A and B are shown apart, each in its own frame.
Chain A
Amino acid sequence: MSKVLPLAEALRRHVPDGASVALGAALECLIPFAAAHELIRQGRRDLTLVGPISDVCFEQMIAAGCVGRVVAAWVGNVQHGAAYAFRRALEHGVPRSLEVEDHSNLSIALALEAAAQGVPYLPTRSLLGSDLLARNPRLRVAPCPFTGVPLALVPALAPDVAILHVQRADADGNCQAWGPTGVSAASGKASRAVVVLTEELVEPDVIRSDPNRTLLPGFLVTAVVHLPGGAHPSPVQGHYNRDHAVYADWHARSATAEGAVAWLDEWVRAPGDHVGYLAKLGRARLDRLRPRASRLAAPVDYGC
């Protein structure tokens, strides 16, 4: 049965108020900005956002008041370093108070991987002696039962839903992504539901022609949203490059709470939906982001 849904419907069904949501799992690329924007439009509240580094996706959702808690390694604007909305929420409770559980990229990866593997925790030799470990009561140090060396133990973290952006998926949810994928696969396997946004909705035969490319098989995927441009302004290899100007604009305007709200009004609420957002960007701007040349992979032979 087809899992294809419109974006608004997929998020209404699978991302309730108070849900924990893995977002931005591929780091600076394949960020499902269109889903974050739709959650802002739908006025979602009390979300827990889970991710390694989130770029301005988390910033925008925090500025919109959707978020009550963040479990992450880094929150801010990668291009400019600043985290205005995150700071306002933590330091001044604007637009609302925010809890944060600090991690490193590896501890987030291990927390999701533990849930993906069905084990209560995974050990690492990272973070020993750091305040990330000392001030996070969920992380513990214990001696290795075999060698006695100290290990940091990272408990499993199973988000309610992962929202992932990919290059292509079929209607059953079998999905394929290329380029770096960060913690995307672990997020999908760890979460109770997975919403996949895809640039291309393809026939199952396309997926089956290259099964090593598969990020997640369809039985792990809850809903598929066909949404070209859904990761803009983050890059999608082979489809569009990063739109740096958006991050600069957010940096300049999110320095004040009013500026951030005005940005969200202009770029999220007023356009009404993703189609309106793309229309506001305009075809010329989107065309400028297209790859200058195609770089097709050499085909591989799966014949038997």
Chain B
Amino acid sequence: MIQGPYTAAELMVAAAAREIQDGEVVFVGMRLPLLAFCLARSTHAPTAVGLFENGVVRDSPALDFLVTMSDGPNVTGAVWCTEMREVMGLMQSGRVTLGFIGGAQVDRFGNLNTTSVGPRSQPVRLPGSGGAADIASLARRHVVIMAHERRRFVERVDYVTSPGHGEGGDWRERTGLPGGGPAAVITTLGLFRFHAATREMVLASVHPGVTVEEVRAQTGWALRLADTVIETPPPSAAELAMIRRFDPDGFWTGARR
């Protein structure tokens, strides 16, 4: 379990924000990535631009707490309000450098399932792709954010909603996917990256208070480690203050006070 004066979600938001470099064009998505974009834009990435699949383009954090990307405070002060095909088209043409998506189930090559879990004869139905499959296909790289449980971290997902590195290696190139695929997976236990050649997910850092053994126990395949596994840097006081400004009641980042 994570130990520190912050929730797991707050640490994940801070870790996600650090994936955003200044000047990037980011396909933001919902929930924690929304907060990560606001945090990055307010701290180390003041010229990052955010695209939202409903058609909003912002170069500033939203004015107020957001439950959805279509809430009023995400529209007021936007630089562009347009149609989905415009923002998706820009992603398809390679103009989006980073996208964020969440998942219910992930496998060792970063393929994500948000459609259907369990045997085909009696599946448990999930809400579906939304824009996730498009972000996974088209963004120049993407980052996955999800809860880490053994039932979610499986050898092979039951349904590939959002393609990761497929079967590994040069699968994406062979398949014709233009985007670079998953660059990182941020979970409630650690941060994972992908081996440069095999494209297999490797543990790169564990969150404060979490052990490598704990991560392995919650992972459904023989997890490999990066050459060095560090401790995920915790959110700074300034980062925490900013996250709590954008999520004042802990709606997305959990009870903490």
- Residue of A whose beta carbon sits closest to that of B133: A104
Determine which of A86, A124, A126, A235 lies in contact with B72 in the assembled complex, contact meaning CB atoms within 8 Å: A235
Q: What chain A residues lie within 8 Å of B161 (beta carbons)?
A: 130-132
Q: What chain B residues lie within 8 Å of A160 (beta carbons)?
A: none
Interface presence of B231 (CB below 8 A): no
Q: What chain A residues lie within 8 Å of B160 (beta carbons)?
A: 129-132, 134
- Beta-carbon contact of A126 and B92 below 8 Å: yes
Q: What chain A residues lie within 8 Å of B138 (beta carbons)?
A: 106, 125-126
A29-B54 contact, Cβ under 8 Å, with A126-B133, A131-B160: yes
Give the distance in Å from the alpha carbon of A146 to the alpha carbon of B176 in the complex. Answer: 15
Stretch with Cβ within 8 A of B (4 or more), from A13-21, A176-184, A194-202, A221-229: A176-184
- Beta-carbon contact of B83 and A75 below 8 Å: no
- Beta-carbon contact of B88 and A105 below 8 Å: yes
Residue of B30, B134, B161, B177 ringed by the most chain A CB atoms within 10 A: B134
Q: When each residue 28-49 of chain B gets 1 if its CB lies under 8 Å from chain A and 0 otherwise, what string results?
A: 0010000000000000000000
A150-B175 contact, Cβ under 8 Å, with A73-B128, A109-B85, A180-B81: yes
Q: What chain B residues lie within 8 Å of A86 (beta carbons)?
A: 125, 127
Give the distance in Å from the alpha carbon of A186 to the alpha carbon of B88 in the complex. Answer: 14
Interface presence of B70 (CB below 8 A): yes
Interface presence of A79 (CB below 8 A): yes
For the residues of A in contact with B, the DSSP-based class is loop
Determine which of A90, A91, A180 lies in contact with B54 in the assembled complex, contact meaning CB atoms within 8 Å: A180
Give the distance in Å from the alpha carbon of A104 to the alpha carbon of B53 in the complex. Answer: 11
Give the distance in Å from the alpha carbon of A234 to the alpha carbon of B127 in the complex. Answer: 19
Give the distance in Å from the alpha carbon of A131 to the alpha carbon of B122 in the complex. Answer: 17
- Beta-carbon contact of B54 and A124 below 8 Å: no
Q: When each residue 253-272 of chain A gets 1 if its CB lies under 8 Å from chain B and 0 otherwise, what string results?
A: 00000000000000000000
- Beta-carbon contact of B133 and A130 below 8 Å: yes
- Beta-carbon contact of A182 and B171 below 8 Å: no
Determine which of A28, A149, A183, A235 lies in contact with B84 in the assembled complex, contact meaning CB atoms within 8 Å: A183
- Beta-carbon contact of B130 and A178 below 8 Å: no
Q: What chain A residues lie within 8 Å of B68 (beta carbons)?
A: 27-29, 55, 78-79, 242
A232 → chain B closest CB, angstroms: 13
Interface presence of A97 (CB below 8 A): no
Interface presence of A214 (CB below 8 A): no
Interface size class of A (residues with CB under 8 A): 35 or more
- Beta-carbon contact of A28 and B133 below 8 Å: no
Q: Give residues of chain A (67-94) contacting chain B, Cβ–Cβ below 8 Å.
A: 72-76, 78-79, 81, 83, 86-87, 90-91
- Beta-carbon contact of A26 and B54 below 8 Å: yes
Q: Give residues of chain A (40-77) contacting chain B, Cβ–Cβ below 8 Å.
A: 52-53, 55, 72-76
Interface presence of A171 (CB below 8 A): no
Q: What chain B residues lie within 8 Å of A182 (beta carbons)?
A: 53-55, 83-84
A38 → chain B closest CB, angstroms: 23
Interface presence of A291 (CB below 8 A): yes
Q: What chain B residues lie within 8 Å of A129 (beta carbons)?
A: 160, 163, 166, 171-172, 175-177
A74-B71 contact, Cβ under 8 Å, with A125-B178, A129-B166, A181-B83: no
Give the distance in Å from the alpha carbon of A79 to the alpha carbon of B34 in the complex. Answer: 13
- Beta-carbon contact of A104 and B55 below 8 Å: no
Q: Which residues of A contact B (CB under 8 A)?
A: 26-29, 52-53, 55, 72-76, 78-79, 81, 83, 86-87, 90-91, 102-106, 109-110, 113, 124-132, 134-135, 149-151, 178-186, 234-235, 237, 241-242, 244, 247, 291, 295
Q: List 7 A-B contacts (CB under 8 A).
A: A28-B54, A102-B129, A105-B129, A109-B85, A126-B137, A130-B133, A181-B83
8 A-B pairs with the lowest CB-CB distances in the bound complex, closest first: A76-B127, A180-B55, A28-B70, A150-B176, A29-B70, A180-B54, A74-B130, A28-B68
